[in-house]
Amino acid sequence: MTRDELARRIYEISHLTGEFTLRSGATSTEYFDKYLFESDPPLIRAIADALAPLVPDGTDALAGLELGGVPLATMLSQVTGIPARFVRKEAKTYGTCRLAEGGELDGRRVTLVEDVVTSGGQVVASCTDLRNGGATVEHALCVIDRQSGGPEALKDIGVELRPLFTMEELDAAAR
């Protein structure tokens, strides 16, 4: 699948119109339902194949953010051979009481994996939490950058966002 075909397919399967409240609190008339592209086996595989070249050299673990980043990190792990970890929005209060599952992150170079980034709020919070736990976090990947301040918010904390597509690119592919 070419890059243009992939963009068109993501748009076709997951783009919704209506009135939506985003995680950031902003409202939008457009929404990308990531679960629609993440639950399609050939499509999530094509997304992982396209994301793989964006993974920085030296990455020790791919950290998928709860919930949408988890299937992406899992598939990307299969494609790259880099171990996946699963990061909660906050550490659980029972059992192991961990923020991240799947293995140790302390002292490791971690690349965060997210589905859609708007303001970047949750990615920034997760980067901070992982850094506080001893991980080195300098890069984040996402499938869609909604171009609403996410890259800038991440740059402010020293993290480079590498999106597979911007909202503008997906809109253009749909035409």
Could you give the domains of the chain? 44-168 (3.40.50.2020)
Q: Is 117 in contact with 142 (CB distance < 8 Å)?
A: yes
Q: Is the pLDDT of residue 132 over 70?
A: yes
- Pick from 26-35, 139-148, 149-158: least confident: 26-35
Q: How many CB atoms are located within 10 Å of the residue 145 CB?
A: 24
Note the pLDDT of residue 76: 98
Question: pTM for this one?
Answer: 0.94
Q: Is 81 in contact with 103 (CB distance < 8 Å)?
A: no
Q: How confident is the model at residue 75 (pLDDT cuts 50, 70, 90)?
A: very high
Q: How confident is the model at residue 97 (pLDDT cuts 50, 70, 90)?
A: low
Q: Which of 32, 25, 23 is nearest to 171 (CA)?
A: 32
